[in-house]
Amino acid sequence: MDAEVTIQFQKILKKQGIKFMMSSKLKSGVNNREKGVSLIIDTPKGEQALDSDVVLLSIGRKPFTEGLQLEKAGLTSNGRG
């Protein structure tokens, strides 16, 4: 269900003008400007300069299941937690 919600939510945000740049990396520091920010990112299509009002940088997440005693509930975790 998470995948379905994610896809639909991303469509809604795109309609509102939010641009998603998956699999991209920040190459140079963020330069604050009077109105917004300027930065250089490395995308699958190559290096790109970006000027924006606001930037949200997300680097992913890692599960923290240590100490939850999953085995007592009959659960096992994979290599990713």
**DSSP codes of every residue in 28-39:** S--EEETTEEEE
Query: Is residue 81 predicted with pLDDT exceeding 70?
Result: no
- Could you state, in order of their start, the residue ranges of all structural domains in the chain? 21-73
Query: What is the pairing mode between strands 25-26 and 36-43?
Result: antiparallel
Rounded Cα–Cα distance for residues 78 and 81 (Å): 5
Closest-CA residue to 21 (of 4, 46, 53)? 46
Residues 58-78 pLDDT 10s: 777 777 788 888 888 888 877
Q: Which two tokens stand for residue 64?
A: 């923290």
Q: What is the pTM of this model?
A: 0.57
Residues 2-54 pLDDT 10s: 888 989 999 999 999 998 888 888 887 777 778 888 889 999 999 999 888 88
